[in-house]
Amino acid sequence: MASRPRSLGAGAISAGLLALILGPIAAVAFHAGGLSLGAADLAALRFTLLQASLSALISAALAVPVAKALARRRFPGRGLLITLMGAPFLLPVIVAVMGLITVFGQAGWINSLGQSLGLPRISIYGLHGVLIAHVFLNLPLAVRMILQGWLSIPAERFRLGQSLGFTPRDIARHIERPMLAQLLPGVLASIFAICLTSFAVALTLGGGPAATTLELAIYQAIRFEFDLAHAAGLALLQTGLGAVAALLAWQLAGMRAGPGAGLDRPSALMPPTGWRRIADGFWLIFAAAFLLLPLTAMALKGLPGLTALPASVWPAALRSVTVALISAFLTVTLGMILVGAVARGGARWIEFSAVLPLAASGMVLGIGLFLLVRPWIGPAQLALPVTLLVNVLMALPFVYRLLITPARNLEADYGRLAASLGLVGFARIRLLTWPRMAAPIGFSAGLSAALSMGDLGVIALFAAPDQVTLPLLVQHLLGAYRIQAAAGAALVLVALSFALFWLLDAGGRYVQAR
């Protein structure tokens, strides 16, 4: 009988999630009326598809040799480099863009070096700037996904190839390429879906009408024209694209068959030497430099900017931290209730409700929620609550995926024993769930908080001057050409984001280790 209230609770939460996602989309569809696209809208659609496709292709193409080098080489700092691959995912997008501008901008390091060599200046604004930013943000994700595929190949396959006299080319043809053929479609679709909903990159690096994405067009329609019908039509189109991309990514990622079981032996093969060793070294140096240069540039530029910070930084920082902590708590709480129900054999539609936000962008959900409450409440009054709600919805699919596997393992190992002892409710959480799942819970909470800290989406549409968050303040400072102050505020934002992530993640691991 104890599982019945829990199932009812998870069912009620799932129903609420479906209403919070489908309700705003329905409101957008209702206000859109007919979907009529002008020349500028079609240009935004073409650019959105073009930049997302190119970003996915370039990220995956560069990730393959980097992942291969990491898989077959052992060197000092390898673990640190792999850990670094997770940093851009936690890095606020507006801060990553600032680091890239410092390196590739008009007065950046690359242009300064080129000018000293007599080379023409390059511009980071426009399509190539958007691509550079998206590759910087998504290359580490692609490397981690492909590296996992390489490491999942049993060592026995390589040993068999060695016994058959396989050359490195034979190993690539018969062992590695089949794995890549199964893995790469899911990687491409996942990055394509992420780039479809990129807002801060296009806002900062778009460079004009020729480099406008659908999300940026939605922002312009509301912020500058206040044409809700036009914005709703674009949002409906964005939702359709996002739903197709998310479904494609989900299906392709789930279709990959494993490479087969092994005996978990370490590979005894010697990595190839000669030009392949030089090539591996080149790709590792390239990846490290491409990731470290913008991060280093942001830190070096931000330190002097700390003396130029406006007084508004600290209220904005407090506002961002508060929203991030509440968002992390709500996301993990909802995620734990849902994974608990699914791990105990809950209905598939509960899992569907947890991953449904992947089909909609935060911008579309925010617009839909504002359209629903607009007849009764002014948008500025709900800017922060709606931002908080959208942050929870957008982080929930990631948290669900992080928690579902340990929750299922916990249920398989201790579920029957807990049921036989009558361990339910808070006692079960305190004595069983929390001690054994504290680490993944802490990591999930840290990830949710970091994603919320860096969010620049809904809040940019409707925030009043006294509701500015730290990412929005950085964007305002950049727009006012207060570059030094913006760099200092960005450094504060990065420090707070990583501090929240580290505190929550380390706290969870400490609890579980006790």
Determine, yes or no, domain membership for 39: no
Amino acid at 223: R
Distance CA 461, CA 203 (A): 12
- Residues 275 and 363 occupy one common structural domain: no
Half-sphere exposure in the Cβ direction for 106 (13 Å, CA): 4
Whether residue 186 is found in the same domain as residue 51: yes
Q: Among 303, 335, 366, identify where a domain stops.
A: 303
Nearest to residue 456, comparing CAs of 325, 318, 362? 362
Please report whether residue 23 resides in a domain.
Answer: yes
Boundary-marking domain end, from 303, 322, 352: 303
Per-residue pLDDT of the chain (514 residues; tens, 9 = 90+): 445 555 667 778 888 888 888 888 888 777 766 666 777 888 888 888 899 999 999 999 999 899 888 887 777 877 777 777 767 767 778 888 888 888 887 777 888 888 887 777 777 888 888 898 899 888 888 887 788 777 767 666 666 666 666 666 766 676 777 778 877 887 888 788 888 877 778 877 876 677 788 888 888 877 777 777 777 778 778 878 877 777 776 666 544 444 444 444 555 455 666 777 888 889 988 888 888 888 888 888 888 888 888 888 999 999 999 999 999 999 999 988 888 888 777 666 777 777 777 777 777 787 788 888 777 777 677 778 888 888 898 888 888 877 887 888 777 777 777 777 776 667 777 777 777 788 888 888 988 898 888 877 777 767 777 778 888 888 888 878 788 888 888 889 988 988 898 898 888 877 777 7
For residue 275, what is the domain's CATH number?
1.10.3720.10
Same domain, 332 and 229: no
Q: Could you tell me the two tokens for 466? A: 């006294």
Q: For residue 486, give the nearest of 123, 94, 108 by alpha carbon.
A: 94
Residue 501 lies in a domain: yes
Q: Does residue 326 contact residue 469 with C-beta atoms inside 8 Å?
A: no
**Phi-psi map region of 271: left, alpha, beta (phi>0 left; psi -120 to 50 alpha):** beta
Domain boundary among 273, 303, 333: 303
Do 86 and 221 lie in a common domain? yes
Mapped onto helix, strand or coil, the DSSP state of residue 90 is: helix
Residues 197 and 219 in one domain: yes
Q: Phi-psi bin for 481: left (phi > 0), alpha (psi -120 to 50), beta?
A: left
Q: Are residues 265 and 393 in the same domain?
A: no
The two three-digit tokens of residue 64, written as one number: 């393959």
* Same-domain pairing of 368 and 298: no
Could you tell me if residue 500 is inside a domain?
yes
Which pLDDT score, from 0 to 100, does residue 264 have?
44
260 and 279 co-located in one domain: yes
What is the pLDDT at residue 351?
A: 73
Residues 12 and 159 in one domain: no
Residue 41 maps to a domain: no
Are residue 249 and residue 333 in the same domain, yes or no? Answer: no
- pTM surpassing 0.85? no
* Residue 482 lies in domain: 1-34+309-514
**pLDDT value of residue 261:** 45
* Residues 14 and 56 both lie in one domain: no
> Looking at the domain assignment, is residue 40 inside a domain?
no
Claim to verify: residue 78 and residue 28 sit in the same structural domain: no
